Structure 1
Amino acid sequence: MTAHEGEKILEQTGAAIRRQRLAEGLGLKELARLSGLSISALSLIETGKRDPRLSTLDRIAKSLGTKVSTFFQDPAVDELKAGSTGSGYDLSEFE
C-alpha cells in the first residue's frame, strides 16, 4: 500500500464517521462525551489526519449505535442498493 492509498483510506473512514455522526444528529462535543474521546481527537480522525486504533473505531461505532464495518462501506454502493428493486443478479442465462 502506498502512502497515498493509506491517506485515502483514513479520509474515507473519517468521512464515514462524520456522516454517521451527523445522521445521528450529534455534534463533536456529544460524540466526545459518549465515546470518551476528546473533541480534537475526533476532529483529527474525521479529517483523516489521525490513524485511529481499531479499539478507538469500536468506541466510536458503539457510541453511534453502529458497527465498525459501517465506516468501511462505500456510500455510493449503499445508495445503489437502496434504489434497487431487483432481488439480485439475473443468472437466468446460465441455467
Structure 2
Amino acid sequence: MQHTTAHPDRCAVPWGVCPDHGGTLRSSAGRSSWCTDLACLNTWNYDRLDAACPEKATHTVQAADGRYVVCTGHAIAARSQITDAQVLTGTPA
C-alpha cells in the first residue's frame, strides 16, 4: 500500500503484467521480460514481472480481501484469476 500512497493514480499491484494481455509475462534472469501472447510484441529490458506495476490505475477490483485500484492489465488478470471479484471500470473519486 505504500506504493499506492506515493502514487495514488498508479496501479496498486506490486508486480508487473503485460498492459495489453494481463498475466502473460515471463522473465529471464531478472534482465528482461516479454509477453507470451503470440500476437503481442511487448518486451521490456528489465524484469517487469518482479517490479511494482508502473501503469496508470483504470479499474477498481472489489474482492473478498478488499478493494484495489489497478491498471487494465491487472483488471484482465483479475477477471480470470480471482473468484467472485467484481472488476469495475474507473477508480474511486
Confirm or deny a common fold (TM above 0.5): no
**Structure with larger Rg:** 1
Relative to the length of structure 2, the TM-score reads 0.30
- The structure carrying a bigger strand percent of its residues is 2
